[in-house]
Chains A and B, each alone.
Chain A
């Protein structure tokens, strides 16, 4: 293992309260250490550069059944963006749904080192992990979709929280999952018959349970299991005008489950869930409402879900939403319902500046990020590839850091949308410190990844060095330099090794896969196991013994052990 010394950089390490101080970072055996012998170390001269912990993405669809179906659907997306092989890297393609190897390289070039893959149908978990093991360099983890699993619905409808928790713990092991993902709770099961739920209190047919009970139930389960992350929620009515109300209700329904300052829920790609209005003609931003709520409460976190004006591919587990989008756009449509568990859909989509709705969506995400005062509550995402490819993160950084950059963008946008938005009146500009919060420290803390997102002694040596001199460059004025710097890290260091230099991959080691190994009381699990084993073959077309995957599917398995609070 290499010994590194990164000298004289401007260090931004929010978890340890370091705000642009010039200091050295020492690395040994893949970890940050107090000090190293300079004579033994490879010295990286970072003077005039920004040093941050490696980026942490809390929500990007990079692998698994639906991502791959998206790739298959879009040869026209790949043909315009190819990645030839080199002596070190494998060949691949972009653009909105890059192939696995390309995904790893492109994140690395941007200085990102940890990526969370947010929707894994448990039945197809093998697929997700096979792809992740072909996604080099970055560390990753996946969230199994559990909000519409029959077993979960049944346990919760009978108010059997502990049993449900034991089942979820088993699922985390069986699928090597990291957090509970809930997508349109109740809606996906209903979509099996072509329906959807419209309100938190709608009953899910055949199951006698409501979305509210699912969210609350799984929130309790999450707490019992002591999972590192909170429940990760894609709300009901996503992408529907007026859904701001649903989102606020969802946030409120778990308020009482959070004890002093503890977090209970993460609302993902919040932009898509912050629409006001009765229909598309009256649709407008609900971001100020959500921001006000977020500013007054501390039990929730969100991520942006910024849209980018480009041609991208939308994919979510929210089958009914995707069908609606297909009807709206007339574009090709893939649906994939997964028995007993979930559904998913894929529709290629182009966000246009000239569209009032799309321009409003762009504004909503910006408003959320700028109106929520505490950057530790909101994280930068595009819900890749739903709002746009992850390669556009540097642009979002530049918008957040510069009123001028936003104005440039607003100038070219649909006028009516801009007129109705509060965005032009906001003059907040993110500092580099705050950017470090929303792109690494914040997500790492929300995910409970103790060794990520900071540069304190003992942390994983995942480091990004950006060619940007904060003494010389004014991000507000020279936002283009900021964008360029964040697109191509001068150095990306992963587990103490230099993996990219000046935006070129110099080494492509394998990354780790995190999953949560929760210990639940043995007798509880035995009871639950016999209960589920009894009906398993009636529910699934795969045998119980063939369902869980083996460690063989993870290149570097990295379990995080937790003790359930039972």
Chain B
């Protein structure tokens, strides 16, 4: 048995790098420090159904040699007039770098999962900027933490513990790990209290909002770090919050704008905003302006509700305005472990973070025109390469229908909805388990992924596969160019 320390977890944007694995042979026996998903990722790593190199012939996927699958993929790409290379957020930056070369060579659109999650955040940043930070700042300094449209307890499990509410920092020592256990044990008690209180107060509208609890009980008595949650439903995180604001779906924009008015000490013409009484918002605004150092973490609940990038723009502006009164920050809660990395690599190579169109030999960027979903909905592309992602399972139906009209290449370590319907399947090694490389945490901190196992025979790293496809494309294009030159010239 061997023990590998400080392993990086290739699951979510938290990119925890303190995992400890106990390994016997090709099997992980125990995982320490990880969250449930991270643990499962390693424990069940060997139990997935792995892909084999395959090509669709006469409507059926037939197993072929890896070289043949790569050759076929290259032929499709070299022939295509408007191919899309999509995926990238669950593979290493090294692979993305080769992907960009491939996109340039074939004249393709390169796009990644930002396009369908935090793309709106990027558009908003391009309008107004972003007051960002690395997560250690959150742990050391922040005394007010807001989660808006994001439930870290169900998506970024260790975010609370490592970086925010429950973390311990140099200037924020009041909450220790000890108090978490204490806190959890008092949770039930608190819930009972809350129910009783609700019955007593008889809130104006059933279950609509909770005001701030001015005298917190239990371990939070001396704590100086507040937690605010804004969401459309009472999530697990909301249950732990000092202040929970339940908003109606698709009304975030109005509420943020109202808050911006209030923190500027301006009066509102209305008594309630999207069903929430102005007094409640005033209470919230009070907490905001009285913070010393605060942060707003937002999730897909904000980026994908009505208004999309306008919501984020408003949220960023709120934080920017708050900087006149306190130090305030904002950060998108990125999902896939290297979606930030894909953003970063594509940006330094092309100047733009996602939805980059290289079909005309130089980078062009206009989400809405060059973003994958829009390209698919307009039925513009004529070939699709998908790497380390499963769009068939997640894209809108009409987009998938259009995608399936044209050749589809899937590069993936395991069988997925996409590999099942693809025309070419190329098996790859697991990034972050069988291949190392670089990934970027949600706050742009680059961390080197650890290789824990050798990949099985015939499973190449994404980087290597792409290099081979690129070489093959160059060979095909070179031949075509030769054919154009008249004999004897």
Which A residues fall within an 8 A CB radius of B? 63, 65, 67-69, 71-75, 78-79, 82-85, 90-93, 97-101, 123-124, 126-127, 130-131, 134, 150, 191-194, 206, 323, 326, 332-340, 346-347, 537-543, 545-546, 549-550, 553
Contacts and interface: CB of A to CB of B under 8 A. Distances in A.
Contacts, number: 186
B139 interface: yes
A537 B364 CA distance: 42
13 contacts: A63-B348, A72-B125, A74-B126, A75-B352, A91-B350, A91-B361, A98-B351, A130-B93, A150-B170, A191-B327, A193-B141, A340-B140, A549-B448
Interface in B107-135: 122, 125-135
B446 A124 contact: yes
B350 A99 contact: yes
Interface in B123-176: 125-137, 139-141, 162-163, 168, 170-171
A65 B443 CA distance: 11
B163 A541 contact: yes
Given A337-B133, A337-B329, A332 B351 contact: no
B128 A332 contact: yes
B37 to A, nearest CB: 19
Nearest to B127: A332
B323 interface: yes
Contacts of B18: 537, 543
Given A75-B126, A346-B129, A101 B349 contact: yes
A82 B352 CA distance: 12
Contacts of B447: 126, 542, 546
A546 B448 contact: yes
Contacts of A339: 133-137, 139-140
A340 B348 contact: no
**Interface majority SS (helix, strand, loop, mixed), chain B:** mixed
Interface string B86-100: 000000010001000
B413 interface: no
Contacts of A67: 348
B326 interface: yes
Contact of B363 (A78, A124, A332, A539): A78
Contact of A93 (B140, B171, B343, B350): B350
Nearest to B325: A194
Interface residues of B, number: 62
A127 B448 CA distance: 11
B24 to A, nearest CB: 23
Contacts of A127: 344, 440, 444, 446
A92 B445 contact: no
B351 A334 contact: no
B405 interface: no
B17 interface: yes
Nearest to B103: A91
Contact of A75 (B293, B329, B351, B446): B351
A541 B162 contact: yes
A123 B445 contact: yes
B134 A126 contact: no
Contact of B349 (A90, A150, A193): A90
A337 B343 contact: no
Given A193-B292, A545-B6, 5 more contacts: A79-B364, A100-B348, A101-B349, A127-B344, A337-B137
Interface string B303-326: 000000000000000001001001
B444 A65 contact: yes
Interface in B329-348: 329, 343-345, 347-348
A71 B351 CA distance: 5
B353 interface: yes
Contact of B351 (A78, A206, A346): A78
A85 B362 contact: yes
A3 B132 CA distance: 51
A349 B35 CA distance: 44
